[in-house]
Amino acid sequence: MMPKRSTIRGTVGGINMREPLWSSGEIRVAAGGVSARPWFADGVQFDSRAVLPGDLFVALTGETQDGHKYVQSALDNGAASALISHQVDGMAYDDPRLTRVEDTTAALDAMARHARDRAPAIRIAVTGSVGKTSTVQGLAACLRDTGETHASYKSYNNHVGVPLSLARMPRSARHAVFELGMNAPGEIRATTALVKPQISVITTVGMAHRAGFASTDAIAAAKAEIFDGQSAGDLALLGRDHDYAPYLLKEAEAHGLQTMTFSARRSADICLMHADYTPTGSFILVNVLGDSVSMQLRQPGQAWVSTCLAVLGAVKAAGGDVGRAAVQLSRMEAEPGRGRMHRLHLKGRDIVLIDDSYNANPISMSAALSRMALYSGTSRKLAVLGDMSELGEEAERAHQALVPAIKAAKFHHIYAAGDMIADAARAAGAAVDRISPSEVRGEIERGALAGDIVLIKGSNSVGLHDISSYLISTYSAANQPFDVGSPANSRRDRPAERMPAHAV
């Protein structure tokens, strides 16, 4: 049963607010903040450009940027107050619009812990080498049917994004879903200590960000750090379709956790019983702890099926309705840059663009190539592929391991924005042009024919996402993708925010 809304607590910028997210008094209790006047805020921001009237701006200090330089801009945009830890140029230190703390980063962490403890939410934390964001968004969509649900925004999964997501959690949230990523050992241990999840989810373990770790064994150990934030009797939901599943099960049990497993290929608590895969979706029959659930999915490929299994397991563990969750999952489309399909009207030629340009690692690249193999018929298949970055000494081997998948996809032509992916495509016998990212747009505009299916995928560092964004914004038929997107996560739609580099 949802709680009744409280009476109006205050007014900021002429807006009457009920149950403000933060107040000056609560910041004083949570983080030792000192301000010269009372204020109420219904949002938290670290990017002054994203501030809306009534937000609290947190001036974070990083290695290359100091948020204190943007305090005046945040206040001009309507911030209720700005959280600072040192003098702001051009402003008196005791300016009543400022709230002073010893350290803004530590204050944000303190706010995260306070917000965590004040809300009666079941907290779910998701990590894994691939599928984190899709799992988080799927869980958020499914759990909203059973109560107020809060979730990480986009891929806010690092040492800044996780406490920010916690600090934004409403006090009335009944479920909260957080994405935890990493670039180095120890990072998940720090963020899981903030979240303290009652349910943890590890999707899979593979060679993502291999350069930051001594081995894939070390990646698995770092993912297992998520258990450190849990208490005995909490639940770990673990994928079985990778080599490190037995290790993770052993680690979870050593932490005194209950375990639940999911798999698209073998026996598990949540397992795939039947699947019909098509280029535009899948029909699946799933066993969820003995109950059969059938679903017609709008996203193709086994990768999305595995995500759905993880979501169904977590919904079940959180006390949600699995049947209603299946309906929600059947409606969902891919997140932008993660395999979303778009119809493009390209100078008189209609083509299909599969925008999978957000990032790439060996697991997600294999999944994208396998998806293209589902397409048959007369349509030509083109690909713009970038190198997979941050794989360290395993980079060349990881690219060559893609040769069978490239061959199976039967591309008419591949535009390779990287030497290693070009070598792998040639080894697969494909027709390949080695081009620079700056040439991609022109090649697609000139070379794509009516009816072509074009895949764009590569690591963020290659810059293919900008190419996809340009093509979609310029040539989308009626400026509409295939899907209608997922519901907004927050109290209001916000401008895009820049985060420090996310983790994986």
> Residue 389 carries which side chain, given as an amino acid letter?
S
Are the C-beta atoms of residues 209 and 216 closer than 8 Å to each other?
Answer: no
> Residue 200 carries which side chain, given as an amino acid letter?
S
Nearby residues of 255 by Cβ (< 8 Å), 6 or more positions away: 227, 228, 230, 232, 236
What pTM did the predictor assign?
0.84
Of 167, 163, 174, the closest CA to residue 124 belongs to: 174
Give the Cα separation of 220 and 106 in Å (integer): 28
* Burial of residue 432, with CB atoms counted within 10 A of its CB: 0-12 exposed, 13-18 middle, 19 or more buried: buried
pLDDT score of 478: 56
Q: What is the DSSP string of 356-403?
A: --S---HHHHHHHHHHHHT--SS--EEEEEEPPPS-GGGHHHHHHTTH
DSSP state of 250: H
H helix runs in 17-171, sequence order? 24-31, 71-76, 104-118, 132-143, 161-167
Q: Sign of the CA dihedral 309, 137, 360, 281?
A: positive
Give the Cα separation of 100 and 304 in Å (integer): 46
> Residue 84 carries which side chain, given as an amino acid letter?
I
CA of 177: how far to CAs of 200, 218, 220, in Å? 10, 25, 21
pLDDT score of 167: 98
Q: At what angle do helices 216-223 and 187-195 cross, to 10 degrees?
A: 20
CA angle 188/194/196 to nearest 5° reads 90
Instruction: Give ranges for CATH 3.40.1190.10 in the chain.
Output: 119-331
H helix runs in 255-321, sequence order? 302-317
CA angle 236/240/245 to nearest 5° reads 70
Of 339, 315, 389, 306, the closest CA to residue 128 belongs to: 306
Tokens read off for 267: 């026996």
In 3-state terms, what secondary structure has residue 340? Answer: strand
What are phi and psi for residue 235, nearest 5 degrees?
-115, 140
Which CATH fold would you assign to the domain 340-479?
Protein-Tyrosine Phosphatase; Chain A (3.90.190)
Residue at token pair 């891929």: 155
Instruction: Give ranges for CATH 3.90.190.20 in the chain.
Output: 340-479
Instruction: Give ranges for CATH 3.40.1390.10 in the chain.
Output: 12-101
In this structure, the number of other CB atoms found within 10 A of the CB of residue 410 comes to 13
> Residue 210 carries which side chain, given as an amino acid letter?
R
Give the Cα separation of 199 and 310 in Å (integer): 12
Give the Cα separation of 435 and 417 in Å (integer): 5
Give the Cα separation of 342 and 482 in Å (integer): 6
CATH number attached to the domain at 12-101: 3.40.1390.10
Residues of the chain with pLDDT under 50: 1-17, 479-502
Could you tell me the end-to-end alpha-carbon distance of the chain, in angstroms, rounded to an integer? 36
Pick the CATH number of 119-331 from 1.10.760.10, 3.40.1190.10, 3.20.20.80, 3.40.630.10: 3.40.1190.10
pLDDT score of 208: 64
Give the Cα separation of 49 and 65 in Å (integer): 14
